[in-house]
Structure 1
Amino acid sequence: MEEKKLDINSIIGFVLIFGILVYMMYTSQPTPEELEAQEKAKQEQVEAEAQTAAKQQDKVVSSEDFTAPSPTDSLKLEALKGKLGALAYSSTLPSAKDTHTVVENQVLALKFSNKGGYLSEIKLKEFVNFKAEPIYLVKDGNTDFNINFGTTDNRTLNTRDLFFEPTITKNGENTVVSMKLKAGPQQYLEYRYELKPDDYMIDFTIRSQGMGNVINGSQAIDLNWDLQTYRQAKSISYENRYTEMVYEYDGGKDSYLGQSELSDDTESSVTYVAYKQHFFSSVLLADEPFSTASLVSRNLVKDETIDTVYTKAFASKLPLELKGGELNKTMDWYFGPSDYEVLSSYNRNLDEIMPLGWGIFGWINRYVFIPMFSFLSGFLPYGIAIIVMTILVRLVMSPVTYKSYVSQAKMKILKPEITEINEKHKDNPMKKQQEIMALYSKAGASPMAGCLPALMQLPVFYALFMFFPSAFDLRQKPFLWAEDLASYDTIVNLPFNIPFYGDHVSLFPILASVAIFIYMKMTTGQQMASQPTQEGMPDMGKMMKYMIYISPLMMLFFFNNYASGLSLYYFISNLITIGIMLVIKNYIIDEDKIHAKIQQNKKKPKKQNRFQKKMQEMMEQAEEQKKAQQRKK
């Protein structure tokens, strides 16, 4: 009986335990919403894994994938071959690391990157920037040098992503750096650099060996060279004004991209492309011209208070051609100062990079001012050399100043007679003009005689305006309070920025503005006194009066950010001109003698030349026609 009871109790216990388990399982099972969320999560995980696998299958191999696999990593090696084909060999070499090769000469310190085989750092050893820091044309990834090409197994590769094997050898005194992108022990694409002692020019060759079955000649092979130019000067806006892309094409012609926010051009038969900064240049030259070139310049300085690192971004796309299934392009690199004498010494037309002016202006700079300043600065301090050169220029131009002043004196003497003619023939403009012309002819005077000397001075004025900002020798040369004659001088730093003026006060532009005000007061006052007012014409006297004040003000604002050497020139030039004019007025020109001479000339019969006779006849015919029309009326 006890046994039966135990059995019944056991059965009841098992039933209760089973019931509890069933209840727990029932209460713990997910709701329909939870089941749906779990299913969705599983599906998303499956899709993510599928996408990752697809990306791994299709993506361009990253630099990490190109690193040399270990001998046991056969799967990675096979993956590299799947991505790079024959060029996977380059990633199996010990050089397949993101390391650098360093060489230098007396003027350049160069660093070559194994990844991409290009110049990843270029330092000019002899120069520093406005912060006294070394000049780097290339550093910290501001450049990109890449060849984009197709392969015979339908891949598109970029050399910037591939590893080159470096070797350094000697060729006499020259240092040769060879960077080889290898498809096998004797198959490679090579960048060959040859660095000469104490030279800014580097021989550069792109050639291939045994790559005819690797490089697809039916696809375009493009050499791309990009550079963001570093700021090197105190005023980034002033430096940026002289930073531009210059190129030579069509057998010696040269051109440049403008200063707009974005400029581009496509040219054929291009010999060199120069990324010119204000005082330094990076130039790629070809022995045989590139068939075409796509060139782009982009301005990076929109706000000089914010954009303080780079001035412009340049980009060139240059085609390379296979010959016999191989590449063989001989070129040169120039990395150095934008110095006329240094550039012209290479006899490669590189002096055209310098903005010396076109036509006669460039001729004056090349053959007059550059040799003169080079001679003077050879034994004089640079500021004194500018002053001496200014004195010489003004002395040479003093005969022109003299003729201009004599012409103004004659016109001043004739003004009463011209006023009388105007009154006498105020109702007959044609007759009035005839009388005035006859007076000028007899007196030997002309209103144009005062303008022509001024026009003759314009080429000299403009040539010097182009010369001083381009004079590399003035860079970082101090004079008086100016720390750098190639940049603006500062006597006061302002706590705010004045539009078109800047955040500082320069003294040389102030002195130049005062001098030009005095000069214009003297010359314009003389012209106003001598220039008769013509009926129906604008009041020139009033316009000249305004210009006396407007011109110095414009110079004050415009030159506040310009090179102090240029402002020094204009200050000294106007001072000397004022002195010359005072000497001419007080010691050379005698207005009474000029007046007596004019009266004598008026008594003499004046022989007219052919042009004067023709003009006289035309005016007489016009007068007769007018009278005939009046009679008909």
Structure 2
Amino acid sequence: MDRNSITGLLLITLILIGFWFINKPSQEQVEAMRQQRDSLRMVEMLEEERRLSEEVRKEAEATPVSLTDETVTITENDTVQQQRARQMYGQLSPFVSGEQEFFTLENEKIIMTFTNKGGRIYSVELKDYKTHEGEPLILFEGENNKFGFSFTHNTRVFNTNDLYFDVQSHSDSIIVFQIATEQNESLRFRYTLPEDEYMTGFAIQTQNLRNLMATPRGTIDINWHVEMPAFELNRTQEQPNTRLYYKYHLSDVDNLRPGRNDSESIRTPLKWIAFKSQFFSSIFIAEETFTGAYLSAVQEENEYSTFLSYKTAEALVPVDFSLNQEHRFNFYFGPNHYYTLNSYGKDLEFNRLLPLGWGIFGWINRFAVIPVFNLLENRIASYGIIILILTLLIKLVLFPLTYKSYISTAKMKVLKPQIDEINERIPKDKALERQQAVMGLYKKAGVNPMGGCLPMLLQMPILIALFRFFPASIELRQEAFLWANDLSTYDSIIDLPFNIPFYGAHVSLFTLLMAITNIVYTKMNMEMTQSTNQMPGMKGMMYMMPVMFLFFFNSYSSGLSYYYFISTLITIFQTIIIKQFVDEKKLLKKIQANQKKPVKKSKFAQRLEDMAKQQQQIKKKGKR
């Protein structure tokens, strides 16, 4: 092997070693991969458990001694059938078949229907709300909702969701379902519905179940599955807001990724699990904690389906059937209303179900916008007027910034002839020298070139906060104003017979008005800010923004478009009024007076000057 070959091999080896070090996963990445493997392992274990349960169930159905087996002749009497059932199902034989019955608990807010099959909630209706079609708003109903846990008895797998419970007691606010044997073994599901509440109490009571029930890992895996129906007019906005949230015990609130199929296996304690739609939620809350959970969300791809997504939660609860225990939980079935959610305790953090924005945007909504909105709501019936007053208050608070922004822009406008003179005097190839001269002019004139931008930047958090507030506000749901039938969704004045990509099949008038006022305001700004011609393409870009808003907001909340429309309209009027009181000639004289005063160079200006000198010296050396 010659020297070149050896050198080549060494280089290749060094490159591979370097490549390995560069692509070596960090400790965080290694930990993330480990957690992912653990999650996949948990999912595989749960899937294997389901598969075995299904095989056992199918085997039981295929066994000749089944209660429904065709080999059982009509000549056999009831005693023989009971004996066969007992051989098959053991002590649970009285509960594997029966007739489904329904029971109701009702208060001022909700109607809950229960079924003895599974001893579970069959449906929940919110009395104060309707669907966009005017139908009763039912969060879930029938077989679209499953709730129960699996266990083994007599070598067979059962699920409480399929067993027929007896009703031990039933009153106006309490219903108790039970499975009880002659050996004083019992499993009870107890539901309580207080007056004027969205919160329902739920308890699992066990007594002497050691020989009747057994579960793997010393836990019961409560399986809750709901097919989430559509309630609103605008499916494209409702479906992304139909999510699965969960709260870690003594920690933060998290959710599965919206808009896609997702699942999560969680091995740390959880406080609650929520199936959330755009304006309503079903929340399962542990009095203590769930020790872990497997969570899954599957999106409905058919846009014509009555369902939006399918949520599943398998919550793990430690249980010891050798002891008599009571495991307490709660259900919240109600609106995503900020103060209603907060009324159940800030430590539960139900209000995090509202997508009010992160950081400063959420703070603005929680501590400023919502309190003011609630104050106005208690005194004014029309939500259109409430939004108008809210906008006026916000523009009043921001008026000093608007005034400062206008004055800064006006100063830039009166300096335009001097800036043009600098641009003509200094060629384009000396960009740094030209910039230095312009900055020197600004310094002498006492003008901050960022003075017009900074006030606008300070207003951006409020604009973004309100962008999150209006679509999430249940107060606007089905509230009409002018031609808009529902301020929580789009205000269609024309339904098109075809769909325009990125726009939709309707025309929203508030969005159209918003786009027009933005174009007018953009034109006014362009007339004020044409101090330089260095960026000729910027003019077209500025006019493109209102057009983009027209497409983006067409299917959004009409309350939001209405707010942006009147906000921009008020800004236009403010600008016209300010213009009447600002004399540009006097402003120019004031600037000229400032230019005559001696100006101390700032550090930034000094650095620019030094850079210009260095550039000139380099060019001189290059010419030599």
Bin for the TM-score computed over the shorter chain: 0.7 to 0.9
2:318 corresponds to: 321
How far is 1:169 from its partner?
4.5
Where in structure 2 are the equivalents of 1:548-559 lying within 5 Å? Answer: 548=543, 550-559=544-553
Q: How does 1:298-377 map to 2 (within 5 A)?
A: 298-303=298-303, 306-307=304-305, 309-323=306-320, 325-326=322-323, 328-347=326-345, 348-377=348-377
Contact map agreement 1:279 1:472 (CA 8 A) in 2:
yes
1:579 aligns with 2:573: yes
Deviation digits for residues 502-522 of structure 1, max 9, x if unmatched?
332222111111111111111
- Counterpart mapping for 1:108-187 below 5 A: 108-151=110-153, 153-169=154-170, 175-184=173-182, 186-187=184-185
Name the SS of the counterpart of 2:553 in structure 1.
helix
Alpha-carbon separation, structure 1, partners of 2:220 and 2:127? 35
Structure 1 counterpart of 2:330, one-letter code = D
8 Å Cα contact 2:436-2:605 kept in structure 1: no
**How far 1:406 moved relative to its partner?**
1.3
Matched, 1:438 2:432: no
Alignment map for 1:374-523 (pairs within 5 Å)? 374-380=374-380, 381-426=382-427, 427-523=429-525
Listed one character per residue, the Cα deviations across residues 318-350 of structure 1 (whole Å, up to 9, x for unaligned) are 112114745542211011111111111111311
Tell whether the 8 Å contact from 1:477 to 1:483 is kept in structure 2 after alignment. yes
Hey, what's the Cα distance between the residues in 1 that align with 2:247 and 2:87? Answer: 42
Partner Cα distance (1:60, 1:496) in 2? 60
Q: How does 1:279-290 map to 2 (within 5 A)?
A: 279-290=279-290
Matched residue, 1:227: 226
Task: Find the aligned partners of 2:68 and 2:249 in 1 and give their Cα distance.
Answer: 40
Q: Which residue type is aligned with residue 428 of structure 1?
A: K
CA RMSD, Structure 1 to Structure 2 (Å) = 2.8
Amino acid at match of 2:179: L
Q: CA deviation at 1:266?
A: 2.8
Which one is further off, 313-322 or 182-191? 182-191
The Cα of 1:628 is off from its aligned counterpart by: 5.3
The structure-2 alpha-carbon separation of the partners of 1:64 and 1:505, relative to structure 1 and needing over 3 Å to count, comes to farther
TM-score normalised over the length of structure 2:
0.83
Letter of the 1:87 counterpart: L
Contact 2:410 2:584 in 1 (8 A): yes
| Partners of 1:260 and 1:298 within 8 A in 2 | no
Using a 3 Å threshold, how does the CA distance of structure 1 residues 168 and 547 change in structure 2: closer, same or farther?
A: farther
CA distance in 2, matches of 1:54, 1:435: 90
Whether the 8 Å CA contact 1:168–1:178 is kept in 2: the answer is yes
- 3-state SS in 2 of match to 1:273: strand
For structure 2, which runs of at least 5 residues remain unmatched after alignment? 1-57
> Aligned residue for 2:41?
none
The answer to whether the 8 Å contact 1:397/1:457 transfers is yes
- In structure 2, how many angstroms separate the alpha carbons of the residues matched to 1:97 and 1:70? 23
CA distance in 2, matches of 1:250, 1:110: 28
State the match for 2:27 in structure 1: none
The equivalences for 1:3-14 within 5 A come to none
Report the CA distance between 1:114 and its aligned residue: 0.9
One-letter amino acid of the counterpart of residue 260, structure 2? E
Q: Corresponding residue for 1:631?
A: 621
Task: Output the amino acid matched with 2:271.
Answer: T
CA–CA separation in structure 2 for the residues paired with 1:605 and 1:354: 56
The 5-angstrom pairing of residues 245-284 of structure 1 reads 245-267=244-266, 268-284=268-284
Q: Distance in 2 between matches of 1:364 and 1:602?
A: 41
Residues 383, 54 of structure 1: alpha-carbon distance in 2 compared, 3 angstrom cutoff: closer
Q: Give 1 or 2 for the bigger CA radius of gyration.
A: 1
Correspondence 1:14-163 to 2 at 5 A:
56-58=61-63, 72-91=77-96, 96-151=98-153, 153-163=154-164
Deviations 1:269-306 (A, max 9, x none): 22111111111111111122212222222221543xx2
Counterpart in the other structure of 2:15: none
Pairing 1:190-229 to 2, within 5 Å after superposition = 190-219=188-217, 221-229=220-228
TM-score, length basis structure 1 = 0.82
Contact 1:217 1:325 in 2 (8 A): no
State the aligned residue count.
556
Question: How far off is 1:616 after superposition?
Answer: 1.7
The one-letter code sitting in structure 2 at the alignment partner of 1:402 is: Y
Q: Which runs of 4+ in 1 moved over 6 A?
A: 59-65
2:592 matched residue in structure 1: 599
- Contact kept in structure 1, 2:165 and 2:177, CA below 8 Å: yes
The Cα offsets for residues 382-406 of structure 1, whole Å up to 9 and x where unpaired, read as: 1111111111111211111111111
Output the amino acid matched with 1:162.
L
Amino acid at match of 2:342: S
In 2: Cα distance, 1:102 partner to 1:71 partner: 38
Query: Could you give the per-residue CA deviations for residues 155-198 of structure 1, whole angstroms, max 9, x where no partner exists?
Result: 3221111111123345xxx7221111334463122221111011
Rate the CA distance shift 1:141–1:411 in 2: closer, same or farther, 3 A.
Answer: same
Cα pair distance change 1:401/1:194, threshold 3 Å: same
Q: Decide whether the 8 Å contact of 2:101 with 2:117 is kept in 1.
A: yes
In structure 1, distance between residues paired with 2:317 and 2:121: 19
Aligned mates of 2:473, 2:75 — CA distance in 1:
57
SS in structure 1 at match of 2:415: helix
SS at match of 1:241: coil
Q: Letter of the aligned partner of 1:472 in structure 2?
A: I
Segment of structure 1 superposing worse, 83-92 or 598-607: 83-92
